[in-house]
Structure 1
């Protein structure tokens, strides 16, 4: 066992490496297992070993001790220890520096020791192997997931600890300021108590989660050791059982090699190493392993004879002094490489952006061409790299000192800015306290007069700006400025509403004397109430305006020096702003012209619609006249029906004429179909015309009414045609009148279709103009946004002086926050105004549609044709 720092941890046995397929990094484990409650979701105690449920062990160490054992692993991301590297062993460089695989005696001893140690190891079946591998895979996945969660939670814990330390230092600073200056520190005494408690709760919660995850990780890794150990023992046992050492039996030998350790190194090739050591194999089935122990060619030159030709031409062993020197040189090169690598990491941490592309240290294992380097050739390169790294480290230290001085100056500037903002906060709080007192006095005065408390008083008391003893914070200050702006906007809207109410009250006062006498008392009370509310609102508006003006004056004083530095740029920005204003004025002028044009088009459309209504009324009167004539014709038809009885004898002759008329009618229907097809080709299909007409429901209703009348007239004309077939000479006159009526009706329908088309075209033109207006309005809003942004930029302009860049950055911190809040406030206001404007436009269009519908409904009277025809 190997005790760690405090003696509470021990190093567990070596776990499988990457070559076995079950990689687990080497970590320090506490001596005792964790308690059963630290499973964090896996507290069921499921055992993945073959023995089922394991026996309950002694109580494990505390979670804090387990978490302390994982501190280094969390810091390096559970990367594990760096694998060993031995350049002398070219075939297996991942070996100890004390092992030389080219030494047959040393390899022979290692092989014999391994075979002897693994002789009693358990050999498993294939099913048991698969079960153990599945267990290792499941546990490995859970370990990796728990490690990720532990690393993330550790970052949360470090952040919580930093915040707790920050609040603790702020509180100490506040107490020192209170002792030295005998005044209340807003950032210390009034704020840190609550925030420090919250930070402490967050820190304790993060530490508890980290301890639970560490205990769970410790338990999972401990449970993983058993299946991995069994797999390793099986692997070593099966290799020991199947290992056959090389045999070199002389022909005619009568002696039998006994099992066990050979008598000398020369006899290592003359023994059998099976578990029972009784099997014998033929010479062709034995693999000659002597090639595995042949010395690498690149190390042959270091022998006393300097020969690299063959294994027999070099000495069997190197002197102990040269071996130690080589090991010392290799160790020195490796240490220098590690030192240079750590030094590069330190330099990169100083300034990652600048030193990210810093050249790495020279590698001892290979040169720039990828070939293995000789021992001792890289010492000078490592020393040169170390000198350069020290020079770079000195430069980084100087830059760090300069940055520290800049930070100190920035902190001083931040303290001054903090004092200014605190004074503004105190001024706003005192102003709100005075306003609250005035509201209380007004309320008491109203109660003394016998007036009940109004809803406005309740709303004003509810919107008093929050807690008067609220501690100062940047977020609270920002919220307070937003609240003051919203109060100013709300009070301005209330003032406008009250002005409209006063105006309406004045208009109501111009009514008749009888109504005035009946309502004078009630209106007088409402007027007094409104005046009181108006006075109180104006007082609040003045108070808010004074507060805002004071705040703006303070901010202007704080940024006055900054504006002087940007005077050179001010000319260009002023020109840009002037250009934006000119474009804005041009856009407004264009919008006004388009609105005037749209109003003229609306007036023209109204005049045209009035003329259309007049024409429609005239046409309806004509249709009424025609209906009267049709009534007379119907009367004549009834007289003719009496004469029809007398002409029954001529019916057969007329039937032939009817057949001819039917042929003509079929021909005419064919022509009508062709004409309709041509009409569809010229003006679109019936569905398209219906879709265009459906855009105006009033016109649709009129077309339906005329279509219904047309159908009635067509049916009446068909009846007249049927009656006229036997009416003789009297029906010819009626047929002429009917033709005239048809012609006039067709002309009326054509005129109405033309008017409908014109109405649809006007509607499309109106929509196009409204879209153009909306587009120009959006451009205007965009220009206003740019203008507002340019104005806001002036809030953060710095003054020329001898301040350092760090001080300038610190002074602009609060100003930048205010600028961002002001920008956000302006964007919200513009969005609300745009939404209200679009709602108003939609409401205006809806009212126009209703007005047109009402004009259609209460316009000229309907035609009496539908009433006259049924009476006939």
Structure 2
């Protein structure tokens, strides 16, 4: 699976991933999505319509979009890169305009501004391509997920039906639901655009327009011709055309059905050639490996150690024979595959030749002859040279006439009919409509047959796979049973050899006892020949079994010794026969020493036999004859017990062999019954196909030489298992070949999907969401700062307006002073009130000065308030910088925490594995200790205390194994302790990272709290400023009124001369009232504007979602 024949898809996927990564790295994601009221209506950023489909702002969207585009590459492979790129460009133009316009004009007013966001990403384009995929690509199979248990046979399952295309739709639907409703709107619009393109609902100019070929890597130039051909020479072109037409007259023209069958045959042969080449390459590697193995086994290995179970030469010879047989089989398979590849290539060349001859014949038949102009005179001979042929004026001199037709060009059917002797050729004005030939097989019927064949192959493959698994299991069991049988046979042989040695030692003991008893009888007879002449002979009859006469021999020995003692006592009492007694005593002592030596030799031989069983068996005592007999009695008891154990073990081994034979016979019956059932199924299937009138397939024939009545034998069982293994291997290869054929026929790629860890994905999604929320919060902060800056600018403009109004009031005051001076000039005639008026003027001047002082104080207060506001803005910017730094630190801490968590999980897995290994070794140690204690208990009960046993090779070996196991356990404990220390360190680092994360989050919360407090202080300062401005304006208005009233007062004694001043004062008061009303109305309008701005800001915050910091503790 790759981007083969899909360069446009590869470019789009790489561009999407690269642009998304670049937008994330350079922090420019906010330039790609669209907020309708802010970006389009307020700032008129129409360029966002062309850029919002260029990248994704979320890593999950990048993953799903790339996977969906990769699965939809089959459309490009069917259409071609030029048409596919043209369709994507036209669809992108439609989807760039329609979703944002529809969102801003229809959805946003209907939802009262709730739907205001168009996410970034190529979701509309993907759904436009998905509409073509839905219409063009058929599904291969369907399956149903049942929602209940299995119903009766006649009913259907109740559940959901899926197909092989369902998971592609699921990826696209997930992409459409990531940031709904904007993403869902884009998906719907993209599907509609794709459907409109498909059904010719768009303008024809757009559907027929194509990109230039060079833009998609197409070679618009025709392939180079021979260097000896001059295509600009019309005579040479005419001669080549005539030669080609003459050569193709004998070519056979085929029917449409034959052409279709040839194309299918060429396609199937091409697939078979590729598969055969692949199989040949694999078999060649197998052959090389088999040759290497044969060389390896054929080399002499003199230094190789011989096995304890037998000689290694036999196994090496068998391995060499097997390797040689495998090499010959591999070479035979390689030869067969090379012959098959040669025949397939020849058939492919013949089919291609027939198709090319048909094409040349059709072109020769449909070639349009040149037509001479009617007004052209016959060519004259010029300078003795004939004129140019007619092709000089009628044929095209360039190669443009031979270019490939475009996507929308059609074949000219009028050229099919020409004056070539074909009767009934239609005229040029009335072309004949030729009926279409119906193919012999409909594509649906062929697809149905292919599906049935695939289902049948799947069933047979499942059956063969089950049989292969059963055979593999049986083969493993057979190998285990063989190993157990070999081990048992070796143990039986060793026990038999030990038993023969013990029987031989018992036989030697019996023979020595017999000779000793004979010599003892001679001694007894020599003591007193008259009395002891009739002393009975020792038992000398040959025993039926070795050791049967040991008891009688010992009894005879005891009786003889008692008789010898009696004779010694009698000879001691009689002093007359002292010499005889001494002689008899000497003879008896000699006989006793000889008997003691023989018994000691016998005991030593018995001990040598028993040391094989028990290395710690005690030494032969040298203390006397009684000790020798005690040792002999104990040894015989041990020999008897060992013989009983050997008999019981032999019976157990025999029973195990019988059970093994019974299991193998049962497996043989299962295999034979399975082959019988398979043959029966094939016979039933063949019978049903014969009844339906369908020909018998090659796969239905009995090509296996299987004898279901063959009796059981070990060699037959081994041959059957090897044959089944070879069949299973060949069937696996056929299965892989069939899979590739089906996939290539349906033009579908393999369905390999990579799964990711859910926790990492969840963490990544959380990080993406946090980053998106952080970006939105940054945008909100920037908007708030801009709005606050605008408000400060408005306040400054209001202050400037108030200052301008104060200046105007001062100018009016100056005018009033001038008018007052004029009134004073008019009132100079009234001398009695002049002094009083001057005093009043002084008082008014003092009031004006006090008013100016209050105005200056208000100005200073406003300056201090503006400076405080600027300080607060500086603090707010510093707080924002601290927030950004803390955000970066928190992201690094979270990344470090994730890495430490992954390392901790890996270390915990290693710790678990080490603990399991330690537990396994502990169990082995406990088992060995239990076996050792049992063996020690048996030895103590059988042969005495531990002090009496000498440590021999077996005990040493057990101790060595125990020490090795203890050292292994110690090493594992050390590794476990080091791993635990590393885990503790990682856990401590993780805890420290979490603490740092919490510290950073607490600092961030403190910074946000200080930010909110600063914002509250700024708001309170703004309110105080507004209140002080209003108070100062009200005070100024009151003072102005008092000033006007004081300045324009007219004394009662003024008479008629004061009438003009009174009228002037009334007019001035009316104008001042009007000015105050206008000022109050302007102030109300400004307050109303400010409220509207605040309401819009609140709406903007609501549309952006909750304003909570994404980095606050969860």
TM-score (norm 2): 0.20
Looking at CA atoms only, which structure, 1 or 2, has the larger radius of gyration? 2
**RCO higher in structure (CA 8 A, sep ≥6):** 1
